[in-house]
Amino acid sequence: MKKNNRSNCDKCRAKVSSPKKLKKVNEGYLCSKCIKKNRDKHREFLRRDILGIRKREDIVKEWAEKRKEREKEQERLRKIYGDAKPQIKSIKKGGAKISSLSIYITKNEKLVLYKKLVHDGLSSDEANERIKLLSSEMENVRKELKNEVKTQEEFNRRFKEEFAKLAGGLE
């Protein structure tokens, strides 16, 4: 076996006290300082190129460039339109809107009416016809109430009353 008789680092040419302090790497025999620099450089390569983690300095520079571009654009717009400030339009508050939720005959209500009409002795086709008539009449009632009534609570109450009258009149 040959002993390593080198006493200089191949990269930085620094003299080392003993050959044991040199380590063999692909690039040759390196001292501990050069090995540390290589490791740091490799870690930086992994962070920046492989993982895509950017330095804080780079991000701050990018923000500054974007800010300058925005200021240039605002300056250009000021030259075109002057220093006119945008005015906020006042919001008009209308009356309470009446929603169209829960004012139609639902499937469950139609099913209950159908069972009630069939139980009272009507055929299936006659029961379906009566339910269609009832739903069209309720549509007309809804349109009339929407024009007359201003609050949602009163609208719901009167709609239910009209529905009860029409449903009771089917018997």
Give the pLDDT confidence of 60-114 residue by residue, as tens digits: 999 999 999 999 998 998 888 777 666 666 666 655 444 444 456 677 777 877 8
User: Residue 90: inside a domain, yes or no?
Assistant: no
Residue 96 vs residue 159, higher pLDDT: 159
Residue 1 vs residue 53, higher pLDDT: 53
Is-contact 155 98, C-beta < 8 A? Answer: yes
Q: How many domains does the chain have?
A: 3
User: Residue 161: inside a domain, yes or no?
Assistant: yes
User: Residue 70: inside a domain, yes or no?
Assistant: yes
Is-contact 150 96, C-beta < 8 A? Answer: yes
Sign of CA dihedral 159, 161, 164, 168: negative
- Measured CA angle at 134 (ends 128, 135), to 5 deg: 90
Residue 147 domain boundaries: 107-169
User: Residue 58: inside a domain, yes or no?
Assistant: yes
